[in-house]
Amino acid sequence: MTNKDTNTEEKIKEAARKLFLQKGYANTKTRDIAAEAGINLALLNYYFRSKEKLFALIMKEHMMSFLSGLQHILNQELDFDKQIQLFADSYIDMLLVNPDLPIFILSELRNHPDKFLEETQLRERVHEVRFFKELIARTDSKVHPLHFFINLISITVFPFVGRPLIQGISGISDQQFTQMMQERKELIPKWIELILSNS
Amino acid sequence: MTNKDTNTEEKIKEAARKLFLQKGYANTKTRDIAAEAGINLALLNYYFRSKEKLFALIMKEHMMSFLSGLQHILNQELDFDKQIQLFADSYIDMLLVNPDLPIFILSELRNHPDKFLEETQLRERVHEVRFFKELIARTDSKVHPLHFFINLISITVFPFVGRPLIQGISGISDQQFTQMMQERKELIPKWIELILSNS
DNA sequence: CAATTTTTTAATCATTTGTTTAAATCAAAT
DNA sequence: ATTTGATTTAAACAAATGATTAAAAAATTG
């Protein structure tokens, strides 16, 4: 505490987190970060060598927390149905706190398709998750189990990615949007279970 | 034809379409566009005044075609179920041809939240669409009809936005991805109708 | 306290990038 | 064919941007 918030290195990281998340890599200038952190521009390079290295650090941090969250939820020893409920509930909570996270990750992933996937060992770590084994076991149909996972992620995450469009079309307020996302915590598990049980 | 493809103005637009779509506004340099179009750099400003004006043009074009597509499909005089089928089918076809379109639009919309929504009269034009009136009429439940529209868009569009993650996690090939999207043309209507009829 | 190391600062550099200019070339009209 | 206007070109400009430097200030060590 004492050191962590006043510490120059941490101040730069904090500013970088905020701005990169908000505006992406290309739209964030080193001078913006320095100003936001309230430090001299040269200190950015002193502590992190380059803008790119600083970004890689922040990006990895985000990918890891995204992954750890997923891993933690989907590895719990729970009923399959309970697990879906837990996922929707805690993931939407997380997204309401970090609404910019998905579009940030997906935008940057577009520019460096492999870079970040490799260094987080995404595939390896997700593959041994309980939920997936359960999901595969559950589907006796000819429909690929991945479809159901895609559906779950889609209806949970997409509203946050497509938010400007959704609000632009429907005209709902920020408050109404949040309200609807709260409702989805309970609706998503029902929908997914419905889809799963009829396949 | 004769003029349209060799025409300098059109060559620049074509190059701009390709590069903006692929890399976004900030990551596309005017020199890249000039090189791609095979023309002198100054011609970009000669014909379009500025990079920003050129971009606004391309962006509006994309928003319009996105909107017209939606409008055309959702205004057809068809059964509600048929309409959902038509939507999934033709929208996935479109997305397979333009897989970068959603992430492009959503990324840029993040930087200029209102700018493009206003000038396309998105809300006004979508609001008078047959499909929505039908959707609202259909839902007697206490669940907001917008939820179902969000679901339809989510499971249709999100796979293309989240493609790097989906392929990174599952390890499926490009070909397998395309195959799955083809399958979803028939699956999505079933899922959506299932959800609708149980609400 | 003096010496040494670490941190911070202001100034500057080198490159990139969007845009402009002035001259050259091309096309159309009289 | 000459004139006039439109198009194209090479060169340059100005601002933005990531990075470096050398000196000053602060902190640490002996």
**A27 → chain B, closest CA residue:** B26
In whole angstroms, what is the distance from residue B162 CA to residue A188 CA? Answer: 19
pLDDT of residue B49: 97
Q: What is the 3-state secondary structure (H, E, C) of A98-157?
A: CCCHHHHHHHHHHHCCCHHHHHCCHHHHHHCCHHHHHHHHHCCCCCCCHHHHHHHHHHHH
With CA of B26 and C1' of each nucleotide, the nearest comes out as C17
Q: Which residues of B touch A162 (CB under 8 A)?
A: 106, 150, 153-154, 157
d(CA B39, nearest CA chain A) in Å: 26
Testing the interface with A: which of B25, B112, B135, B165 to mutate, by most A Cβ within 10 A? B165
| Confidence (pLDDT) at B2 | 40
Q: pLDDT means per 10 residues in chain B (199 residues)? A: 71 97 96 97 98 96 87 88 94 95 95 85 84 78 91 98 93 96 98 93
Model confidence at A153: pLDDT above 50: yes
Spell out which residues of chain B touch residue A195, defining contact as CB-CB under 8 Å. 191, 194-195
pLDDT in tens, A52-82: 999 999 999 998 888 888 888 888 889 999 9
CA of B95 vs C1' of C16, distance in Å?
34
Best mutation target, A153, A186, A197, to test chain B (most B CBs within 10 A): A153
Q: What is the helix (H) or strand (E) element at residue B197, kind and residue range?
A: helix B174-197
| Distance from C-alpha of B28 to C-alpha of B19, rounded to nearest angstrom | 6
Find, among B49, B47, B41, B42, the residue nearest to B13 by Cα.
Answer: B47
Residue A102: closest C-alpha in chain B: B162
Amino acid at A134: E
Q: Tens digit of pLDDT for each residue in A73-106?
A: 888 889 999 999 999 999 999 999 999 999 999 9
The pLDDT assigned to B86 comes to: 95
* pLDDT(A139) > 80: no
The C-alpha angle B60, B62, B64, rounded to 5 degrees, equals 65
Write out the H or E segment, with its range, that includes residue A35: helix A30-37
Within 10 Å of residue A56's Cβ, how many Cβ atoms? 17
How many angstroms separate the CA atoms of A195 and A25, rounded? 38
Structure tokens at B163: 């493609």
pLDDT reported for residue B5: 60
Q: What pLDDT, on the 0 to 100 scale, is given for residue A29?
A: 97
Q: Which residue has the higher pLDDT, A27 or A5?
A: A27
The predicted pLDDT at position A198 comes to: 87
Alpha-carbon separation of residue A17 from A56, A157, B116 (angstroms): 11, 21, 27
Residue B1 has what pLDDT? 40
Which strand D bases fall within 7 angstroms of a protein CB?
Answer: 7-12, 16-22
Alpha-carbon distance values, A121 to A63, A73, A115, A196, B197 (Å): 10, 18, 11, 29, 41
What is the structure's pLDDT at B59?
95
Q: Across residues A176-187, what is the average pLDDT?
A: 98
Q: At what angle do helices A51-74 and A41-48 cross, to 10 degrees?
A: 60
Residue B54 CA distance to nucleotide D1 C1' (Å):
40
A36 contacts: CB under 8 Å, gap ≥ 6: A15, A18, A19
